[in-house]
Amino acid sequence: MGMDINTGALRKNAFRVTKRRGITASRVRIPGGRMDAKLLGEIQKIAELYGDGTVHITSRQGFEILGIPFENIDKVNEALQPLIDELDINQEKRNKGYSAAGTRNITACIGNTVCPYACYNTTEFAKKIEKEIFPHNLHFKVALTGCPNDCAKVRMHDFGIQGMTMPQLDKSRCVSCGACERVCRKRSVKAITMVNNKPEHNLEKCIGCGLCVVNCPMRAWTRSEKKYYKLVIMGRTGKKNPRLGEDFLKWADEENIIKIIKNTYAYVTEYIAKDAPGGKEHIGYIVDRTGMEEFKKWAMKDVHLDSETIEYDSIYWKGPKY
């Protein structure tokens, strides 16, 4: 028989209400899904000392330490401090664990430190966003993927960030082999055509995947020095009206994406349903209610888009309606 506890405070502290009375589980936050391997030993210690010795790897790239009696919560929070310090996670009070759980762990694919297709360092950007938006009680889901392959399934999140590159062609290195045209036609969007035996690139059509760069045998194609991103918004899973996120910005930059995410916290604070269960409502439902123009009025405050950034005005989300 466990002791009684305030379940709202429990959840806010990133502990779960479980099926077993008096037993909880601690959700360990790993921004970008990457950490030093030595921290696995810390997680193991907590699981064996204060839990039931088992750990669940969550769908959001964190760890859930299972089977923790309520009376061990304070000890778990103290034991989590080395992980919080190492991962540089913002918190209100030391040795008290996580200060909020509403804004979920920011997930990311492995990025360009490993994957040849990725256009940027996803972990680095995930950590930058984390520092700006956590801790917060509002229910936000953010995910990053290195390229339009979308291995991280970012279109199922409130904010999905896809890496892009603006391919640069050095015509003096090109030998007219057509490898770029073939790969773009077969595996991407046909943004390259051969004209007089030389590749012509249609920037309007291009999704910035970088396949031409990866597949050019002469290294005539290179990635742009500047990092670009596509921002997709208001995707969600869930029992009621799941849907994929739709394109909002193309050829966007990091700073404006962070501004838009931060601005959305003010928008949600203003418009979240007063009777939202547990104070939680998917942002897409709020946008549906207020209209896209009202969302943009808040989200785009003090946002000055670069000249090459394309903003999509009309967005229509598709998916089952219940």
Q: Using CA atoms, how far apart are residues 223 and 119, in angstroms rounded to an integer?
A: 8
Same domain, 74 and 151: no
Q: Residue 191: inside a domain, yes or no? A: yes
Q: Residue 267: inside a domain, yes or no? A: yes
Same domain, 234 and 187: no
Contact 103, 135 (CB under 8 A): yes
Contact 141, 187 (CB under 8 A): no
Q: Is 47 exposed, middle or buried (0-12, 13-18, 19+ CB in 10 A)?
A: buried
Same domain, 26 and 126: no
* Burial letters 135-152, b for 16+ CB under 10 A, else e: bbebbbbbbbbbbbbbeb
Same domain, 154 and 119: yes
Domain residues for the domain of 253 are: 107-164+227-311
DSSP for residue 106: P
| Tokens, residue 162 | 């896809």
Output the pLDDT for position 1. 45
Q: Using CA atoms, how far apart are residues 113 and 106, in angstroms rounded to an integer?
A: 18
The segments of the chain whose pLDDT lies below 50 read 1
Q: What is the pLDDT of residues 202-251, one digit of tens each?
A: 999 999 999 999 999 999 999 999 999 999 999 999 888 999 999 999 99
Output the pLDDT for position 217. 97
Distance of CA 315 to the CA centre of its chain: 20
Same domain, 146 and 272: yes
Contact 246, 312 (CB under 8 A): yes
Same domain, 283 and 186: no
Question: How many domains does the structure of the chain reveal?
Answer: 3
Number of Cβ within 10 Å of residue 281's Cβ equals 18
Give start and end residues of each alpha helix (H) in the chain: 7-12, 38-50, 73-86, 122-133, 179-187, 211-215, 254-271, 283-290, 292-299
What's the predicted TM-score (pTM) here? 0.95
